[in-house]
Amino acid sequence: MNDDLKFVPADLTIAPGTTVVWENVGSIAHSVTAYEDNIPEGASYFASGGFDAEQAARSAYPDGSIEGGGTYEYTFDTEGTFDYFCIPHESAGMTGTVSVQQGGGAEGGGGGESVPQVPNSAKTLGVATTGAMVLTLGLAYFFMKYGGDYGEFEE
Ligand SMILES: [Cu+2]
């Protein structure tokens, strides 16, 4: 959440059981408030401040606001689409969507931060693979060089 009155990213796809942390990186206070009618059936309601209903959250604001530097987190267990908004900036279009689905999150919906993690892990895998190949070649060389000697002793 930033001072441009936006959730970034506004649309997020995650796997069930993922905890989303909203951080206010600006100085203007926001809220994370679910649209009661736009969450999957059977899913529990969520809103910063811990309200269990949309109207309660709206009425209580600024209770439940997230100040600059503050965070709010929620773990999504139910599959489906969750629409939410920021109470003071809803009319400015400050809304977001979290889609919870099996296999979600593979594309790193976490924004810029998760993008470098893919090359990093790929690099680590490459190093490990190279190491394994060197080891294999080393063993092959060892057996080629010394394996024959044993053979000679046997003959
Ligand atoms: Cu806001």
pLDDT digits (tens, 9 = 90+) for 121-153: 666 666 676 666 676 766 676 666 666 555 555
Going from the Cα of 103 to the center of ligand 1, the distance in angstroms, rounded, reads 30
| Domain spans of the chain, in order of start | 11-100, 117-146
Average predicted confidence (pLDDT) for the chain = 85
CB contact at 8 A, 19 and 110:
no
pLDDT digits (tens, 9 = 90+) for 61-104: 999 999 999 999 999 999 999 999 999 999 999 999 999 999 98
Residue with tokens 């009618």: 37
Going from the Cα of 22 to the center of ligand 1, the distance in angstroms, rounded, reads 12
Inform me whether the pLDDT recorded for 109 exceeds 50: no
Going from the Cα of 97 to the center of ligand 1, the distance in angstroms, rounded, reads 14
> Which residues is 13 bridged to in the sheet?
99
Provide the pLDDT for residue 139. 66
Provide the pLDDT for residue 105. 80
> Which residues is 100 bridged to in the sheet?
14, 80
pTM > 0.75: no
Specify whether domain 11-100 bears CATH 2.60.40.420: yes
Going from the Cα of 138 to the center of ligand 1, the distance in angstroms, rounded, reads 60
